[in-house]
Structure 1
Amino acid sequence: MTPRVGLFVPDLLVIPRDRVPSDADATPVPAALALLAAEITSPGNPETDRTTKLRAYAGAEVPLYLLVDCYDVGEPTVSLYSDPASGHYRHLVQVPFGDGIELPEPFGFRLDTTRF
């Protein structure tokens, strides 16, 4: 895989406190330390979240990528990508806004999207 140059600032990044580097205020935190990255699409660049960031997080082997896609064709959806390998996520669960989506361990809860 060709290395990528760039820095993404996700809308939400979950990293266990014991994995956060002591100099995290001064330098970017490597995505590989994250348990979950989440993005909420915006009208100006939804494809960035759907493709570029999806590939980048998979390439960094972030275990879970949650995409809240307000502008999905057809209807708004929430997608949970998991099981990254070789720069791609091997598993996808997608639900329309209003349905719940299960976040696996270490989270272990159902995310209610009713108010999305």
Structure 2
Amino acid sequence: MAHEPLAPEELLLEGFLALDTPEGYRAEFIEGDIVVKPPPDGDHEGCISVVMRQVTRRSVTDMDVSGHKGLKLERGSRCPKNHVIPDATWAPRERRLFRGAEPWMPADGVAMVTEVTSLRADRDREVKRHCYALADIPLYLLVDRERGSVTLFSEPGHDDYQQIVTMPFGKEIELPEPFSMTLETTDLA
């Protein structure tokens, strides 16, 4: 019996899933593009460390965090089969979301994703933001090193986040439930 040929997007996705990237590199499949990123620089990792340290110590909800966890974002028509790797993915510890998860897991139950801008900042500011909103991830925290700011996107709906708060480095930003905490940004500069 003959098989139907794969649609171009399905063929690309199949090729993406078969990639063998060099050690330290990360590959993502975003809006039909395969994006391979080199290992992050020390300043990038320093920013992630600042956020992780504060959230794990100050959040009122006990959180699990996964650095570089693969998420399958399959909701919506703009981002039908995206495979993204946030710099940090947060979920309430009681959910045990990361235990036994496949390398690419659905975003159901994720409380927040965090990205720190690097070479292609516009992808974090725009494309990933829309993909996270379409997947109904409640909070997206963007540390924008170029602009010297932190932005919290919340209330996903209508292909984007409906609430956007941006603070320059050095100012505090409030993370709502389930975190219910103040994130200090002075050490991000």
Structure with greater helix share of residues = 2
| Paired residues of 1:20 and 1:29 also in contact (CA < 8 A) | no
> Could you list the runs of 5+ residues in structure 2 that have no partner in the other structure?
1-75
Instruction: Decide which of 96, 100, 113 is 1:23's aligned counterpart.
Output: 100
Would the alpha carbon gap of residues 21 and 112 (structure 1) be closer, same or farther in structure 2, given more than 3 Å must change?
closer
Inter-CA distance 21–69: structure 2 relative to 1 (3 Å threshold): closer
Counterpart for residue 157 of structure 2? 85
Q: Percent identity?
A: 39
In structure 2, the CA distance between the partners of 1:78 and 1:21, relative to structure 1 (3 Å rule), is: closer
Q: What corresponds to 1:45 in structure 2? A: 120
TM-score relative to the length of structure 1: 0.88
> Which segments of 5 or more consecutive residues in structure 1 lack a partner in the other structure?
none
Cα distance in 2 between the residues matched to 1:97 and 1:21: 31
Structure 1: distance between partners of 2:127 and 2:115:
12
Moved over 6 A (4+): none
> What TM-score, normalized by structure 2, do the two folds share?
0.55
1:21–1:47 CA distance, 2 compared to 1 (3 A): same
Which AA in structure 2 matches 1:5?
K
Distance 1:79 1:71 in 2: 13
Residue 36 of structure 1 pairs with residue 118 of structure 2: no
- In structure 1, what is the Cα distance between the partners aligned to 2:98 and 2:91? 10
Task: Report how many aligned residue pairs link the two structures.
Answer: 111
Q: Which 10-residue stretch deviates more, 8-17 or 101-110?
A: 8-17
> Which structure: larger Rg?
2
Partner of 2:182: 110
